[in-house]
């Protein structure tokens, strides 16, 4: 395509812009003690990265699948691209999150990128840190997985990359789990994997399943960010039971547009979970489905309207796209294509919940699955590839100029604000104001304590509900159904060969083999393993839901902002609500819903150590059911203890936040005041410097 040929005009235009950024950086360098120039330098690096990637002969349409762990990205892709077959294993924990790229090529192969020596040193160092913190915990688990698999990390990090060829697509799919699966042999050492297959529908596109931007291992976050810089289209998944939290909204509304993404499809994934949460209060499955969609659509519209009203830089066109999420359920789509007898345990549970309000049809499951709408969007995106990329090529310079303009405006406003302070106040007044701020913040601690205590009470309330639900699941997973088998028996009999008209046959015999079938009932030991795994998955979801119901970041943020603005009116005009908002968001970014892990292997071993295959005799069946009952009881108690432990950790975090919130807020405000106070020593000179800074910025003609 012509658009991928970098012309002389491109070279001139790009060169002029990069020179402009260099000049701006050099001219502002003398003020680096007062302002942060890192963002200016980053504009140049990002621009070069995006344009160098774009102008390549083999440039494809980059499609990103983005979302947190366990929002259903792999299931979504498997259903969209691979007819529901589990080609991409689910990364159910942060320690197994691997960025996976899928592209067409005539040769079926995997290109595996391992952690570098430096990255592995950081993981190794983190593994010995405080395991209560997520990044240290995950690092420790990665090291443990490496030891359990008897891997010598040095063998892999020294080669950094490896290419493995396969004779066929099927052979590649059989082996991919070793590198990206939760229990994959090499998974703990892998940072990213590129899958090249001879499937023609992948021609001209590159699909990437990302581990997300909230990964505790920073090198994997960096890898995701690098890909986002080059992304053209994003399918952003947010699951129905925790739809669009604060981080999700900021990413899709602010960060992605700045990265140059031209189209974002907001996908409400795992909508079957949302339906099951509301089904109990509705008369039918259809009613629950429509109610769930209506509630979440209204929430999306409200959330993005609020974001647009409270933020200076937003892409209005993209915001409008976000107000109409696409609701999907990969599991419902896959169920619709199966006979009931072929459903997995997890699918059967979803089906049984749906059927509690009446018969469930395949048409209803397809409607809830709704993958055809996604396929239509996907096909439309691919068909408009040339148009989209041509549009992207034309916006490199305008987008980069807008970003530079935004950064300069922020620096200019900061300089103007400091000049106002230096002119309006003297050193004594600012010092007095600092004392007043300290006094006001100390007074508002009582109100802050009420907000944080309410949060703790709420999580205790939902914890009790979750424990009740987990105990209810216990009864369901005690059940294992008996199956019917057939044994073929063989008997050998002697039969006479004598024929009355053939005297020479009289007295002779021959052996004849007879067979007959006998039916019997048995229990499959593997059903118990699946019960344990499904019980743990349901338990983990109960725990996760406890935190999602308890913690509404937007509500908490508004409560804290109200308290701050009410108590800090002594600041006058120097700090506005947007400043407080920034400080509150910075603090709340530290609140994380824990990633729940609960290994099933010890419980599975209890079953497999005593039972395998078909259990036929009544005495063995009775013994098996007792062992399963004891094991399910242990699983139940283990999950409940895990919930108690995670709630205790979370509440400790809230107590720490309650203790430090006012101090951190005071620190941020007083640091700014202290800088201005220090500048009173040379007040006139500092004002001249800030005026010079403003003059330099005003002379920058970004659009020239």
Residues 590-637 have pLDDT tens digits of 566 666 777 788 888 888 888 888 888 888 888 988 888 898 889 888
CA distance 100 to 113: 10
Query: How high is the pLDDT of residue 554?
Result: 60
Distance of CA 324 to the CA centre of its chain: 20
Give the residues of the chain that fall short of pLDDT 50. Answer: 1, 91-96, 215-219, 570-571, 573-577
Structure tokens at 24: 């701006």
Query: How high is the pLDDT of residue 574?
Result: 47
In DSSP terms, 110 is beta-bridged to 164, 195
CA distance 463 to 337: 37
Query: How high is the pLDDT of residue 410?
Result: 83
CA distance 36 to 40: 8
CA distance 329 to 267: 10
> In Å, how far are 65, 483, 506 from 265, measured between CA atoms?
10, 45, 87
User: How many beta carbons lie within 10 A of that of residue 512, not counting itself?
Assistant: 10
List for the chain the helix, strand, coil content (%; round to 5).
65, 10, 25
Of residues 531, 524, 523, the one with CA closest to residue 604: 531
Domain positions in the chain are: 232-383, 427-481+523-685
Contact by Cβ (8 Å): 563, 443: no
Query: How high is the pLDDT of residue 204?
Result: 81
Angle at 697 between CA 691 and CA 701, to 5 degrees: 145
For residue 524, the SS3 value is strand
For β-strands 614-615 and 509-524, DSSP reports them as antiparallel
Contact by Cβ (8 Å): 80, 375: yes
Residue 264 phi, psi (nearest 5): -125, 125
Count, residues in the chain = 704
CA distance 36 to 99: 31
Dihedral of alpha carbons 146, 147, 151, 153, sign: positive
Query: How high is the pLDDT of residue 604?
Result: 85
- Render 594-637 in DSSP notation, one character per residue: PPP----HHHHHHHHTT--SEE-SHHHHHHHHHHHHHHHHHHHH
Query: How high is the pLDDT of residue 670?
Result: 67
CA distance 607 to 605: 5
Contact by Cβ (8 Å): 592, 547: no
CA distance 693 to 688: 9
For residue 251, how many C-alpha atoms fall within 13 Å in the half-sphere facing its CB?
Answer: 23
């Amino acid at each position: 395509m012509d658009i991928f040929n970098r012309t002389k005009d491109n070279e001139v235009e790009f060169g002029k812009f990069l020179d402009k950024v260099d000049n701006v950086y050099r001219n502002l360098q003398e003020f680096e003690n007062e302002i942060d120039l890192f963002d200016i330098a980053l504009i140049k690096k990002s621009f070069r990265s995006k344009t160098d990637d774009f102008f390549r002969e083999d440039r494809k349409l980059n499609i990103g699948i983005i979302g947190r762990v366990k929002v259903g990205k792999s299931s979504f892709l498997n259903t969209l691209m691979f007819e529901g077959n589990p080609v991409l294993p689910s990364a159910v924990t942060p320690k197994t999150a691997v960025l996976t790229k899928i592209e067409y090529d005539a040769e079926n192969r995997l290109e595996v990128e391992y952690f570098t020596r430096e990255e592995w040193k950081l993981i190794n160092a983190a593994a010995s840190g405080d395991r209560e913190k997520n990044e240290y915990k995950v690092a420790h688990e990665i090291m443990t997985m490496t030891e359990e698999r008897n891997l010598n990390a040095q063998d892999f990090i020294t080669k950094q990359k490896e290419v493995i060829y396969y004779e066929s697509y099927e052979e590649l799919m059989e082996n991919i789990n070793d590198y990206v699966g939760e229990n994959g042999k090499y998974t703990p050492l892998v940072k990213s994997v590129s899958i090249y297959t001879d499937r023609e529908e992948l021609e001209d596109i590159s699909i990437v399943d990302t581990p997300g931007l909230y990964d505790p291992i920073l090198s994997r976050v960096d890898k995701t960010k690098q890909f986002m810089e080059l992304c053209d289209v994003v399918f952003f998944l947010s699951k129905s039971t925790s739809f669009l939290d604060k981080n999700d909204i900021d990413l899709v509304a602010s960060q992605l547009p700045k990265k140059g993404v031209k189209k974002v499809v907001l996908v409400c994934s795992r909508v079957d979970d949302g339906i099951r949460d509301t089904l109990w209060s509705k008369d039918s499955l259809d009613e629950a489905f429509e109610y769930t969609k209506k509630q979440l659509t209204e929430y999306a519209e409200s959330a993005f309207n609020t974001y647009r009203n409270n933020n200076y830089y937003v892409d209005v066109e993209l915001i409008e796209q976000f107000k109409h999420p696409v609701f999907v359920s990969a599991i419902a789509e896959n169920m619709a294509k199966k006979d009931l007898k072929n459903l997995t345990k997890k699918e059967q549970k979803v089906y049984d919940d749906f059927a509690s309000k009446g018969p469930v049809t395949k048409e209803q499951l397809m409607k809830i699955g709704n993958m055809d709408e996604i396929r239509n969007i996907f096909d439309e995106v691919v068909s408009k590839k040339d148009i989209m990329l041509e549009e992207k090529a034309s916006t490199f310079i305008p987008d980069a100029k807008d970003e530079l303009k935004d950064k300069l405006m922020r620096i200019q406003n900061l300089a103007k604000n400091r000049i106002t302070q230096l002119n309006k106040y003297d050193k004594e007044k600012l010092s007095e104001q600092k004392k007043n701020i300290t006094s006001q913040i100390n007074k508002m601690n009582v109100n802050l304590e009420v907000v944080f205590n309410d949060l703790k009470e709420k999580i205790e309330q939902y914890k009790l509900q979750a424990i009740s639900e987990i105990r209810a699941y216990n009864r369901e997973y005690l059940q294992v159904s008996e199956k019917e088998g057939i044994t073929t028996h063989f008997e050998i009999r002697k039969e006479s060969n004598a024929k009355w008209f053939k005297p020479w046959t009289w007295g002779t015999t021959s052996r004849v083999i007879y067979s007959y079938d006998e039916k019997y009932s048995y229990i499959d030991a593997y059903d118990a393993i699946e019960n344990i795994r499904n019980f743990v998955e349901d338990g983990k979801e109960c725990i996760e839901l406890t935190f999602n119901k308890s913690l509404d970041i937007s509500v908490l943020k508004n409560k804290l902002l109200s308290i701050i603005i009410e108590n800090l009116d002594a600041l006058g005009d120097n700090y506005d609500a947007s400043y407080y908002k920034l400080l509150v968001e910075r603090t709340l970014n530290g609140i994380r819903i824990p990633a729940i892990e609960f290994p099933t292997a010890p419980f599975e071993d209890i079953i497999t150590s005593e039972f395998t295959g078909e259990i036929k005799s009544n005495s063995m069946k009775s013994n098996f059911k007792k062992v399963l009952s004891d094991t399910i009881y242990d699983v139940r108690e283990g999950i409940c203890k895990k919930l108690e432990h995670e709630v205790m950790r979370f509440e400790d975090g809230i107590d720490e936040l309650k203790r430090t919130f006012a101090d951190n807020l005071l620190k941020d405000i007083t640091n700014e005041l202290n800088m201005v106070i220090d500048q009173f020593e040379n007040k006139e000179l500092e004002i001249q410097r800030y005026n010079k800074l403003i003059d330099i910025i005003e002379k920058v003609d970004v659009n020239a």
